[in-house]
Structures are given as structure tokens and as C-alpha cells.
Amino acid sequence: MVVPQTHDEAVTAAHRLAAVLAPGAIQRDRDGAEVVPYEALAALDDSGLLGITVPVSDGGPGLGPRTLGEVARIVAAADPAIAQVPQSHFLLVDVLAVHAGPEARKRAFGDVLAGRRLGNAFAERGGQHAQDLRTRITDGLLDGVKYYTTGALTSAWIAVSALDETGRLVLALVPRAAEGVSVDTDWDMLGQRATISGTATFRRVPVEAGLRVDYAGAYEVPQQIGARAQLVHAAIEVGIAGAALRDARSYLREKARPSTEAVRSGAAAAVDDPHVRHRYGRLATRVRAAEALLDSAARTLEEVGLIPADAEAAARGSLAVAAAKAFGSEVALEAGSELFTMCGTSSAAAKYDLDRHWRNARTHSVHDPMDWKYAHIAAYELADRLPPNHGQL
């Protein structure tokens, strides 16, 4: 396992991983949480891509958002569920790079560079919202129940958000194999099925002092940690859109018959139908626009840097990513639906599993509300109001 050292090497590794993942994507979607995709996850871990954003000072190549966004998009076009598994991994690499002490950095980054993943346990059920936390650290022991724990099931470490003895928000980095840690496969969702983002339970799990990170402090200063995490989410949506367009093209060229109405008008093949051509051309243009907006957002993050100069710089990065995520989500949903309009009834046959594109986009797109992203963009443009300084924009 070799960690790519340049943008081009990382992109090549992503294409190589995508080629491995693509043939099994339909079966993994059908299996859902009944079958843990160990082989696919092993391919991800062995790709070297988990280490691409580890800072140079910690032994990594320190590749930036442009590389990360492109890698995530390529992998998502092959299997967006597997692409989502390391989303929180890359977030945590950034958090550790900026806010962790030397012990946490040494141990976590050493494992990351060896191909071991970081999983998350952030969200909870039962409170007023997903970040209304009941998980606590008391006398050095962690207790709590988490849900939507993408990547935790097969990770080496799990970063758990909790309130410490003083009531302050921290991340506790605990080994997945630690006594008192259990992660279930109770994941039954419309889409993104192979992420298996089920319930994680922590019962009196010891938390080493050197493996705590002041997570509250990360959002008390201008930051790009949230924007960089959202960039991966945006890339997943854009990857889904590209995959739906790709499959529509293949089906139209190889399988689709023209509608009776099109034949009456002189079309000899589905691709000769002027309405199919109009819809395909419009959709292809919007997918390319989403890809361009994603790339533009990544380049903005490159300019701003992981530690922004001030609140204005942080806002510029966050809003650029918000636009890419909101628009990319819309286009992914559109592509997953338009595919059937263009390809016809036969394309809805279960054997093709083409509905997975819409299901994946629909499930993933509601990770954060798109409407709030547009609202924050407008508030900045119209009223000079800086966006909120949190991790969901």
C-alpha cells in the first residue's frame, strides 16, 4: 500500500479503485446491511487514498481540497456508498491536523498512513436535533449511544463527540476494538445502503487524556473544517449525477427502443428522438456545470487554506462549497429521475438497478438541508451577513 504523493497519482489511484468497485456496486446496493462489504472496504483501505490529506509535517503528502474533491467524485461515480464511508475520515484528519496534540496525531496519522480508517460517532437520536448530545465523559469513561455512524463499523478508530466533565464539547478518539464499544448493522435505508451507518454504543469506555480533542474550540475561530467536510459530500452528489448520466447514455445507445410516437415521427432509434436528445443534452450540460462548480469550490478552499486568515475568508470557502453541494444535489436527483424519462419503461426493470442512482442521491442529499445553504448564500450576497460558523455548511 502506497500513499499517492501528487494530485495526478491520487486521481490515478481513484480511477483504479473505481474500476474495482464498479462491478459489485449493484450487488452491494441489493445486499444493504445484510452483507458487510469487506472486500470493497479493503480495496479502499489498500488504495493509499486514506492518507492523501495527512500533513507533510506528519509524514503525509498534504494534498489539498482539489485532489480530495476529484478523488471523492471519481469513487462516488462507481459506488457512492463506499465513497461516503471515508467522508468523516477526511474530516477527522483535518480536525486532528489543526487541533490535536502530538500523541493523538502520532498514533492516528501513523495508522492512517498504514491504510487504517477513522470512523465517526457524532449524531444522536431522541434529542431536539442530531447534535443535541447525551453522550458524556465522566471520570475518564465514555458512555453514550450514537447513530448514523458511517465508517465506524470497520474502522481502526472511532471519534466520538461528547460533553466532558465540564460540559464542553470534545472528540474522544477510541479504538474500535476497545472493550465497551459495539457497532451494529441496524441500517435499513432507501439508499446509500452499503454505508451501514448503524448504531454505536459506548459503555464505560476509557478515554486517554492525550486522545481528547477540544471540538468546541474548532468552531470558536474562523475555520474551513466544515467546508472541507462538505466538499466530500458535494463530490458524492456530483459523482452520482455523473453515474446516472453515464448509465443513461449506455442504455440509450445499447438497449432502449424508440417510443411508438417517436417511430411515427421518423425516429429509427431511441437516440433519434428529438425529445430524448433535448433532455439528454440539457442534463449533460447541468452535470458538467455541477462538476465545474465542484472544482471551483475546491479551488476556493485551496486559496483560503485549512486555517483561514479571517472570518471573511472562511465565509468565502464555506459559501462556495454550499453552492456546489446544493446544486450538485439537485442535479443528482434530476439525473436519477430523467434517466427513466429518456430510457423508457424497460429501464425500470429490477435487474438493471438503475433506480439506485435516485435512491442514493435522495438519501444522501438530505444529510444537510439544501434550502439553508441557498438561504445563507443569499444572506451574504444581499445583506452582508456572514454564514454560521459550523460544520454543516
| Cβ atoms within 10 Å of 152's Cβ, excluding its own | 29
Between helix 311-343 and helix 225-254 the angle, nearest 10°, is 20
Q: What is the pLDDT of residue 137?
A: 97
Per-residue model confidence as pLDDT tens digits over 192-233 = 999 999 999 999 999 999 999 999 999 999 999 999 999 999
Between helix 355-365 and helix 225-254 the angle, nearest 10°, is 160
| Cβ atoms within 10 Å of 59's Cβ, excluding its own | 16
Antiparallel, parallel or unpaired: β 200-206 and 181-183: antiparallel
- 7-218 is a CATH 2.30.30.90 domain: no
Is residue 118 within 8 A of residue 157, CB to CB? The reply is yes
| Residue 222: all three cell numbers together | 474562523
Is residue 193 within 8 A of residue 33, CB to CB? The reply is yes
The reply to whether domains 7-218 and 221-382 share a CATH topology is no
Residues 238, 243, 249, CA angle at the centre, nearest 5°? Answer: 130
Please give the C-alpha separations between residue 80 and each of 38, 54, 113, 282, in angstroms, as whole numbers. Answer: 16, 23, 23, 23
* Alpha-carbon span 24 to 34, nearest angstrom: 15
- 221-382 is a CATH 1.20.140.10 domain: yes
Per-residue model confidence as pLDDT tens digits over 126-157 = 878 757 899 999 999 999 999 999 999 999 99
Domain ranges of the chain: 7-218, 221-382
Can you give the C-alpha Rg of the chain in angstroms? 21
Closest CA to 28 of 195, 148, 149, 187: 195
Q: What is the pLDDT of residue 130?
A: 58
| Local structure of 148: helix, strand or coil | coil
Question: Which value, to the nearest 10 degrees, does the dihedral of the CA atoms of residues 17, 21, 23, 25 take?
Answer: -160
| Cβ atoms within 10 Å of 345's Cβ, excluding its own | 9
Q: Residues for the chain: how many in total?
A: 393
Which stretches in the chain have pLDDT values below 70? 130
